[in-house]
C-alpha cells in the first residue's frame, strides 16, 4: 500500500527545531514571549514594514479586522463569494450580514464591476457597507488596482484575506499590504505553517497594539483583572511563533517549489482536451499555493473533474474540487448575493492537485500519469 499523497502537507526545514528548543530551554512556552516578537518582526519585514500582530489563526485575524473597523450587528459587509468559509464566518460572529459578490474569470477573485454595482446599490438604499473582504484565492492576486480605487471612491475599507497568498505580489507589492488590514494564515495546509496560527497586518502601530490588546482578553492596565471591553483569547503562543520563525526563513524556497509544481503540471497536462490552468495577469506574481485546473466537459470527451478526482483517489492521491461558493452554501442560503455564474462554473469544473512543496518529482509524475489515463 502506497502512502497517501496529500494536497498540501506541512514541510519543515529543520531550523524550526532550533527555535522551538530555545523556547523549551527557557521554559518560554506560552503565551507570547521573544519568538512572537521575532516572528512579528520577520513578517513585518515581508509586509513593507507594516506592523503585524501574531494570532491564533487567520480566522481570528479576520474577526479582529472587522472589530477594529467597527463592524456591528446588522451592518453589511461585502465578501468574495468564491472562497473558504473562514473569510465570511467572522462577519456573522459580529452579527453583521455578509453580501456575497461573484468572481471574474481572469484571476477567479472578486469581480470589480460587480463590486461597484453592489456598493452603489447598497449606498442607494442607505446601507453603505462597513467593509469589503477580498481574497487572493489559491495565491492568485485579485484585481486590487480597481478594487481599491472603487473602495476608496465609496470610502469603504478593504480587508484583504491573504491567507493563501503569503509570498504573492502585484506590481511587486506584497499581498497582505493592499487593504486597510491584511490577513495571513499559518494553518497546517498553508504555504508555511506554525501548526496553527495567523496574523493581522495593520495600518499603524496603534491598530496593532489594539489588536494585541483585544487578542489577550482586553485587560485594562491595573494590578487586578479589569475589563472595559469584550476581549478574545486570540494570541499566538511562543512555541508556535518559534516554528514560524524557522518556516519564514524558507518562504521564498517554498514559493519557488510550488511555482515549479504548477509549471510541471501545466507543461505535462495542457495538451489534454478540455484542460485549462489559471494564468498570471500582467504584473501579478502568484505563490501558486495550490495548482488548480479546470476540465470543460464539453471538450474533454466525457472526462469530468469528478471522474478524475475519483480515479486519483483509488491511487491514494488526494485532490479536491475548488471551493464551493458561499452563495451556494446551505448556511448562507438567506444571505444577499450578486452572482454571474463564474464561481459556480469553477466549482463544477475545477480541481486542486497535490501541490505541497515537499512532493518529489516521482510524486508529481505519478499524479500526471494517473490524470492522463482518464483521456485514454
Ligand X SMILES: *Cc1c(COP(=O)(O)O)cnc(C)c1O
User: Do 259 and 288 contact (CB within 8 A), yes or no?
Assistant: yes
156 is an interface residue for ligand X by CB under 6 A: no
Q: Using the rule CB under 6 A, which residue among 38, 157, 198, 244 binds ligand X?
A: 198
Residue placing its CB nearer to ligand X in the complex, 57 or 177? 57
99 is an interface residue for ligand X by CB under 6 A: no
Q: Using the rule CB under 6 A, which residue among 19, 28, 39, 84 binds ligand X?
A: 84
163 is an interface residue for ligand X by CB under 6 A: yes
Q: Using the rule CB under 6 A, which residue among 111, 116, 160, 161 binds ligand X?
A: 161
The separation between CA 8 and the C-alpha centre of its own chain, rounded to angstroms, equals 14
What gap in Å lies between CA 135 and CA 146, rounded to an integer?
A: 14
Going by C-alpha positions, the residue among 351, 355, 363 that lies closest to residue 300 is 351
**Candidates 27-35, 79-87, 228-236, 362-370 — which segment interacts with ligand X by CB under 6 A?**
79-87
What gap in Å lies between CA 131 and CA 70, rounded to an integer?
A: 9
The beta-strand segments (E) located in 254-304 are 275-277, 284-285, 291-295
Going by C-alpha positions, the residue among 216, 259, 208, 199 that lies closest to residue 42 is 199
Residues 18-57 that bind ligand X (CB under 6 A): 57
160 is an interface residue for ligand X by CB under 6 A: no
Q: Using the rule CB under 6 A, which residue among 177, 187, 339, 357 binds ligand X?
A: 187
164 is an interface residue for ligand X by CB under 6 A: yes
237 is an interface residue for ligand X by CB under 6 A: no
286 is an interface residue for ligand X by CB under 6 A: no
135 is an interface residue for ligand X by CB under 6 A: yes
What gap in Å lies between CA 274 and CA 320, rounded to an integer?
A: 18
What gap in Å lies between CA 114 and CA 98, rounded to an integer?
A: 15
87 is an interface residue for ligand X by CB under 6 A: yes
Residue placing its CB nearer to ligand X in the complex, 85 or 217? 85
Smallest gap from Cβ 27 to ligand X, in A, equals: 27
How big is the chain, counted in residues? 376
Smallest gap from Cβ 21 to ligand X, in A, equals: 25
Half-sphere exposure of residue 337: CA atoms within 13 angstroms, side-chain side? 22
Q: Which residue number has the CB closest to ligand X? A: 58
Smallest gap from Cβ 195 to ligand X, in A, equals: 11
Q: Using the rule CB under 6 A, which residue among 59, 238, 287, 319 binds ligand X?
A: 59
What gap in Å lies between CA 287 and CA 367, rounded to an integer?
A: 21
Q: Using the rule CB under 6 A, which residue among 20, 86, 192, 278 binds ligand X?
A: 86
Residues 294-353 that bind ligand X (CB under 6 A): none
Residue placing its CB nearer to ligand X in the complex, 75 or 164? 164
- Omega prior to 31 cis, within 30 of 0: yes
Residue placing its CB nearer to ligand X in the complex, 87 or 374? 87
Distances (CA, A) of 307 to 83, 193, 348, 375: 23, 31, 12, 11
User: Do 25 and 34 contact (CB within 8 A), yes or no?
Assistant: no
As a whole number of angstroms, the longest Cα–Cα distance in the chain is 73
Count Cβ atoms below 10 Å from residue 40 Cβ, excluding itself: 20
Q: Using the rule CB under 6 A, which residue among 109, 177, 185, 294 binds ligand X?
A: 185
In the complex, the residues that contact ligand X under the rule CB under 6 A are 57-59, 83-84, 86-87, 135, 161, 163-164, 185, 187, 198
Amino acid at each position: 500500500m502506497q502512502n497517501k499523497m496529500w494536497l498540501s502537507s506541512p514541510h519543515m526545514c529543520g531550523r524550526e527545531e532550533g527555535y522551538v528548543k530555545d523556547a523549551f530551554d527557557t521554559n518560554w512556552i506560552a503565551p507570547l514571549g521573544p519568538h512572537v516578537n521575532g516572528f512579528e518582526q520577520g513578517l513585518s519585514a515581508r509586509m513593507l514594514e507594516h506592523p503585524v500582530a501574531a494570532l491564533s489563526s487567520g480566522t481570528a485575524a479576520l474577526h479582529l479586522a472587522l472589530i477594529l473597523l467597527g463592524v456591528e450587528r446588522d451592518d453589511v459587509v461585502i465578501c468574495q463569494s468564491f472562497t473558504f468559509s473562514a473569510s465570511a464566518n467572522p462577519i456573522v460572529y459580529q452579527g453583521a450580514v455578509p453580501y456575497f459578490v461573484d468572481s471574474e474569470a481572469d484571476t477567479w477573485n472578486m469581480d470589480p464591476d460587480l463590486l461597484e454595482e453592489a456598493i452603489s446599490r447598497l449606498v442607494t438604499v442607505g446601507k453603505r457597507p462597513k467593509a469589503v473582504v477580498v481574497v487572493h484565492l489559491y495565491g492568485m492576486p485579485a484585481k486590487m488596482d480597481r478594487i481599491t480605487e472603487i473602495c476608496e471612491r465609496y470610502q469603504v475599507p478593504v480587508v484583504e484575506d491573504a491567507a493563501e497568498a503569503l509570498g504573492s505580489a502585484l506590481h511587486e507589492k506584497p499581498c497582505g499590504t493592499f487593504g486597510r488590514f491584511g490577513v495571513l494564515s499559518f494553518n497546517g495546509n498553508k504555504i508555511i505553517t506554525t501548526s496553527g496560527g495567523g496574523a493581522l497586518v495593520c495600518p499603524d502601530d496603534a491598530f496593532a497594539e489594539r489588536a494585541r490588546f483585544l487578542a489577550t482578553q482586553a485587560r485594562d492596565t491595573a494590578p487586578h483583572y479589569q475589563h472595559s471591553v469584550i476581549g478574545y483569547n486570540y494570541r499566538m503562543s511562543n512555541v508556535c511563533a518559534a516554528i514560524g520563525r524557522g518556516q519564514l526563513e524558507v518562504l521564498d524556497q517554498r514559493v519557488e517549489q510550488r511555482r515549479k509544481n504548477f509549471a510541471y503540471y501545466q507543461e505535462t497536462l495542457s495538451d489534454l482536451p478540455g484542460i485549462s490552468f489559471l494564468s498570471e495577469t500582467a504584473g501579478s506574481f502568484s505563490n501558486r499555493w495550490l495548482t488548480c485546473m479546470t476540465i470543460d466537459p464539453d471538450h474533454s470527451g466525457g472526462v469530468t473533474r469528478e471522474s478524475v478526482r475519483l480515479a486519483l483517489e483509488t491511487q491514494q492521491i488526494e485532490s479536491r474540487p475548488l471551493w464551493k461558493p458561499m452563495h451556494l452554501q446551505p448556511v448562507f442560503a438567506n444571505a444577499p448575493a450578486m452572482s454571474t455564474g463564474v464561481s459556480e462554473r469553477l466549482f463544477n469544473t475545477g480541481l486542486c492537485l497535490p501541490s505541497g512543496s515537499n512532493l518529489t518529482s516521482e510524486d508529481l509524475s505519478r499524479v500526471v500519469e494517473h490524470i492522463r489515463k482518464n483521456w485514454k
